[in-house]
Amino acid sequence: GAGVSQSPRYKVAKRGQDVALRCDPISGHVSLFWYQQALGQGPEFLTYFQNEAQLDKSGLPSDRFFAERPEGSVSTLKIQRTQQEDSAVYLCASSLSRGTTEAFFGQGTRLTVV
Amino acid sequence: AQKITQTQPGMFVQEKEAVTLDCTYDTSDPSYGLFWYKQPSSGEMIFLIYQGSYDQQNATEGRYSLNFQKARKSANLVISASQLGDSAMYFCAMRINNAGNMLTFGGGTRLMVKP
């Protein structure tokens, strides 16, 4: 497809369960970002990759959150031992290169922890 | 640290009228970019318009224009000739050019266009 693709679109997890969220960026896009959007709020930065290198993970809220992009394309955001406060929409965005004005977002994964 | 403030939680506008969505920002860095995104109920963030801090002219993209007042640190979005499909959440965001590539978002404004 032409856009950023995220899967699954919806995920319900029991508290304590591990989850993995997938992001397929636009082909050829070097930069990839993860954001967390709580209900009724703006997105908040989690982490940033340039190719396979994770250059910034300052926004990850705890060590239960882990992201990877091993081949510089598809990225996975993993949350271990999910808690209710992890319930949010997780957005992935990609851009052609560092400094490019426009970042393209996926539709997000809505995670609900029960 | 940078901060984006959107003071209007919700706005109504009559179809075909113009509407201004407010955004103020706070940064001490001289090099930054300002963005507006639209988020319909389907969830994706759609890029609308970009303004660089050194740009001399206000950005325009079709029916969207950005009223950039650098001294006041404001970057209001103006939508002309509103359409029913403009009903959505609108987010203002900032990127500091020398501090990573991430966007800092405001809390958003919900725009509702009345027929």
Strand partners, A50: A31, A53
**Beta strands at A53-56 and A44-50: parallel, antiparallel or unpaired:** antiparallel
Question: In the prediction, which pLDDT does A1 show?
Answer: 54
Q: Cα–Cα distances in Å, from B50 out to A13, A15, A50, B35, B87?
A: 37, 40, 22, 5, 20
State the pLDDT confidence band at B1, using cuts at 50, 70 and 90. Answer: confident
CA distance A90 to chain B (A): 10
CB of B42 less than 8 A from some CB of A: yes
pLDDT (tens digit per residue) in A1-48 = 579 999 999 999 999 999 999 999 999 999 999 999 999 999 999 999
CA distance A18 to chain B (A): 24
How far is Cα A33 from Cα A49, in angstroms, rounded to an integer?
6
Residue B58 in this model has a pLDDT that exceeds 70: yes
The torsion of the CA quartet A21, A25, A27, A31, rounded to 10 degrees, works out to -120
For residue A95, give the chain B residue with the closest CA.
Answer: B101
Do A104 and B33 lie within an 8 Å CB cutoff? no
Do B105 and A102 lie within an 8 Å CB cutoff? no
Mean pLDDT, chain B, as a whole number? Answer: 94
CA distance A47 to chain B (A): 8
Residue A99 in this model has a pLDDT that exceeds 70: no
Rg (CA), chain A: 13
State the pLDDT confidence band at A102, using cuts at 50, 70 and 90. Answer: confident
